[in-house]
Structure 1
Amino acid sequence: MNNPLRRLALAAVAAAVGLTVAACGQVQDSSTPPSGAAATTSVDTLFGAVEVPANPQRVVALGWSDAESALALGVQPIAVSDWLAFGGKGVGPWAESLSTTSPTILPTLELNYEQISALNPDLILNTRSDNSKEKFDELSKIAPTVSAPAGTTIQYGTTWQQQMQQVSAALGRKEQGDALIAETDAAFAAARTAHPNFAGKTVGVGSFFSDSYGAYVDGDSRVDFMKSLGFVNKPEIQALSDGSSFYVQVARENIEQLSADTTVIFPIGGDASALKADPVLNQLPVAQAGHLLIIDDPVLANAFSSGSTLGTKYAIDHAVPLIAQHTAT
């Protein structure tokens, strides 16, 4: 599973159909506070308050973009899950230079608890995940585990702001995290000011994977990105959601549902040639009007999908000019 974004697609499909992925090798509860470390910080999570040690040194980042969030705060995880199949250090190019060591690369959907336990972590970050209570309980036997914030209802539905809040609180760097959130919010505000025509326009955000289409709904980082620019998720797309997933499948015969004032779509696990050659997609009203943006740069598609402060700022710099070219003035 080496193609960029393929893991993301599988996570979306798993969330949509309620797939339960078997976790391998459950461990016995042997967790104890690291020698000399005191649990001094309480972080509210989906599964209750979690006490984490001061100044954790051996951080394992399992959640989607958790590693990038830690790196943005100056903390290098000893192990990471490479959700977007970046390879190398398991993070996007906008974060890779912040990692001066080579972390252990861990599985994503199917956790290996023995491998994680053998790393002897003093903190596990799993803030953007499928929100499995079973996985949380098993991970908590190994080390304090910070999950999604309380009230999260959608799998992988932790926003980039919430992720940074959770991670910075767990790492004892809340002020630094607040500053990164403010910096990213300011970048969105500048983009809105530069492009007032985005305000109120409907958007359809979709993907193409394994010869099928899908659309993203409220609670997804890509939709949140577009809404932060002033767009409104197309109501007809949002109506397809049952509120439990960030992603809905769109049958080819219903592909017109993706047509909005502006539509952004990208391939998962392949290049954009199939999208560019699809006669049905390119006959949609949005395409005929010149307002269909096909993201054919895999780095940009990854940034657009990352949901981290670092990836989001990269997408603001590089995706917004393309969005502007495909949005009516």
Structure 2
Amino acid sequence: MSKEIGTAVGIGVLGLGLGYISYRLLTNGVSITKENFFDRKQKIKPTVLPRKDRRVDKVCKTTYEKITQVETQCFKGINTALRLGGRDVKKLTASLVAKWMISEEEMTDLVTLSDVLLKMRSHGILGPVNYQEVVTSILQDADLELNKKAEELLILLKDTVMDHIEEDIRQQRTVAQNSESRKIDIYVLYSESDFEKAKLCQENICRYASTSDIKVVLMDDMGHGQTIFEAFEQGMESSIYVFVLVTESFAADGLKRFLAGIGLSANLQRSNKLWRLVPVWVDPGINERGKCPLEFSVLQGLHYNRFLEDELDTNCFKNIDRLIKKGRKKIMEESLARATKEHE
């Protein structure tokens, strides 16, 4: 019995020895203290960067410059309000390198808090929707905190920037509504998953149709800063024809229900404008009854699918040329009739 116990103890000691050797090899002989263990964990699992406000992407260059100017002034004010020393800034930059995935080289020249904040802004970490939350977070990581004056500056900054963004979007809408010197020829509607097909269709129309100045606009190109209903109304009001790409995806998804819900076909029919609505058959056999909404299957659509199967079959683009010629004439006649009525 004692021999068996001795053998078991020997195996256990050997196992501990091998485990220790493996540990030393993996850590290169560096002991893992509690402090550097959590540092390693932070680098392995960095904090997810907050998504910036998408409305900022839609503002013009002049508004960007205004926002940058306001941010720079406020960041300098926050820097003055907190009066952080060189050691504090070093702690902040070290935290950003470890937690926010900014390279160490980019942080070497930063000597003030305003430098740090501007660097975070340029990386998309800091923006209108999260000024206060993110600044509070990075200060807490370095055992620092906002004071009342700095907090007030962050609130003022957010309000000012949002005002610039909203004003810019309002101006863009006004310009879009007033620029009706010539209507869009074709406004293209499609399912979200069919964006690439819609983009290709737009390119093919511009390439193969004979009308040189044809204007084709996709659903995604309309309505910056607007709801889907506002964008849809703007597209309808500013276009001659509404092309609907009818695919298997369209027949199955929410766009079909949206168009049915607003009664597009019925409304156009009541106003004698049904000629404006043109289904574009994309997938083979999609125009057969039962495969697409009834209100589309009874309309005279464009067989774009035949061109996709054989690029020599360009009849659908010849039909588009005829539609544009007829549509432009109708719009001109309606405009003249409206002007005459107003004059009387």
Same fold by TM (over 0.5)? no
What TM-score, normalized by structure 2, do the two folds share? Answer: 0.23
Question: Which of these two proteins has the greater Rg computed from alpha carbons?
Answer: 2
What TM-score, normalized by structure 1, do the two folds share? Answer: 0.24
Structure with the higher helix share, 1 or 2: 2
Structure with the higher strand share, 1 or 2: 1
Higher relative contact order (CA 8 A, sep 6+): 1
